[in-house]
Structure 1
């Protein structure tokens, strides 16, 4: 298969590109290397994918460009069978400071992808959405029928993007699926995420910092489970036109998570607390029964197993990754 991964040098996109190359597909990555976080992480991802391609049957090509450039997007979409649209301006808190950039990238960039795809015989567009579309919970776990009332510009932009994808599926007969990710973590994740900070600080004998009182809960999803959900959509069409939760169902209090990482790595440390941001969600918890019914999605990594895997990776790649966490 020929596959375009937008944002394919980023965290989730990079793991997808690597998996597709390993599986023998021909992969084109579009990424603008936005310095939202240190681009050296993306450079490591690109190098890893190139090494995988050199040692197997798949191919890998990097195009430095932006999804806001409709001409570049159209040219690349024309060449491929599938589009995995992972490119986005990430970050709930920064979206409060610059909401128009989130609209430009996440909404207009998505429309460029969808417009290009509907003019070709593309097999499927798979869009990365977010649990941030739900906003304040009316009930938990979130199922896809839960009201979508995002409380941040980031969440609003992701909701608009997925609604466009689903409407294009309806009115243009474009096979498109929106996957609502729930707090994805794992190797090479953004260095300013809670898990990377907890692990880094504990390994350096510094107290983990919790924002708020720590009673907020998160449905942390290991990146390998997210990759499996995406790979399934190369062959499965049952979710076309749908928005689908991709979570772990295994939610945990932030305070408990910090304590468990602390207890594993540096049990003598105490937790520190700082003021939380108003745009941060109180709770996330995914009902994944729809994903299970449509695409057979079954996450296999618990939060405790995933944190152990991430910690082991962190120890092995500490020399280049840790400085980026400390400077984030």
Structure 2
């Protein structure tokens, strides 16, 4: 098996991807954000048996020398390291340029110099902004409606420019809203579940009318692996989404149903995005993923969403997992 570098391996999707690749027999080098606690993020929650299989590299995606050092000996790169919280991008936009655009440049430049055989760069459905038509295919215009989405548009274009200018073997995966175990409380589904799991019945949310195309993390992980192994994906942008649209309000009701509780929703002004920055509608067209990858969501449609939600609720309501979340603090 080839050796795979995963940047952002300590995060939500990255940790699931690392775990799955190890289970499939891949040789994996997780790139985690250096910190003085020697924390590997969510990788710390893996079994000892799996952790013993990891060749962990601690560094900073913003440092080109560290990125190149981490990439030596690897022939495939899954680049997930990114700042992703939209409210924090209002607060500190400069860090998004450094991490998301410059960090991606560091990965691409190192891959070019080391003759890596594949780079899968992670985009986001947020680059589309509010849908101009639905379902959203890969030809939909991109719109920077937040500093976060603008930085990801810049990173995507940098990746495509390396493919076109230097024939760097780049593919761009564009997951829609991924959810599941280990997700940060800055996201809406963990926000709802953790509030209810802690005994609250009046929960605080932002806007309820925007719609999202939620994608269970196992489906997203499979999309990454199929992108990494598909020659048809070279130079391509591919949506990974369930092709199922649901509003935030409807999502809250479904979670309450799965958890067997009645809820009252309270609007929290601090959670409301600026009017022109809110993405009102996201709904993925996943035909291209089916055509060139053979990828389809195992958790698609309403029934798939309910099943994914049951697995997510089961994980979050485990006291050992819930204790990692600050339920009474709004996480930007």
What is the TM-score of this pair, normalised by structure 2?
A: 0.90
Q: Which whole-Å CA distance do the structure 2 matches of 1:52 and 1:261 have between them?
A: 31
Match of 1:85 in 2: 79
Match of 1:311 in 2: 313
Post-superposition offset of 1:192: 2.4
Post-superposition offset of 1:53: 4.8
Q: Which whole-Å CA distance do the structure 1 matches of 2:6 and 2:74 have between them?
A: 10
Find 1:277's aligned residue among 273, 280, 299. Answer: 273
Post-superposition offset of 1:269: 2.8
Q: CA RMSD in A?
A: 2.1
Q: Which whole-Å CA distance do the structure 1 matches of 2:187 and 2:57 have between them?
A: 27
Q: Does 1:116 align with 2:107?
A: no
Match of 1:169 in 2: 163
| Structure 1 runs, 4 residues or longer, greater than 4 Å off | none
Q: Which whole-Å CA distance do the structure 2 matches of 1:110 and 1:268 have between them?
A: 44
Uncovered stretches (5+) of structure 1, i.e. residues with no partner: none
Rate the CA distance shift 1:249–1:269 in 2: closer, same or farther, 3 A.
same
- Are the equivalent residues in 2 in contact too, given 1:200–1:322 (CA < 8 A)? no
Uncovered stretches (5+) of structure 2, i.e. residues with no partner: none
Number of aligned positions between the proteins: 319
Match of 1:209 in 2: 204
Rate the CA distance shift 1:20–1:285 in 2: closer, same or farther, 3 A.
same
- Are the equivalent residues in 2 in contact too, given 1:259–1:271 (CA < 8 A)? no
Write out per-residue CA displacement over residues 202-238 of structure 1, whole angstroms, 9 at most, x where no aligned residue: 22331232312x1111111111001101111332110
Post-superposition offset of 1:256: 0.8
Q: Which whole-Å CA distance do the structure 1 matches of 2:262 and 2:227 have between them?
A: 46
Q: Which whole-Å CA distance do the structure 2 matches of 1:118 and 1:11 have between them?
A: 27
Q: Which whole-Å CA distance do the structure 2 matches of 1:165 and 1:157 have between them?
A: 12
Q: Does 1:247 align with 2:226?
A: no
Q: Does 1:96 align with 2:90?
A: yes
Post-superposition offset of 1:313: 1.5
Match of 2:21 in 1: 20
- Are the equivalent residues in 1 in contact too, given 2:124–2:176 (CA < 8 A)? yes
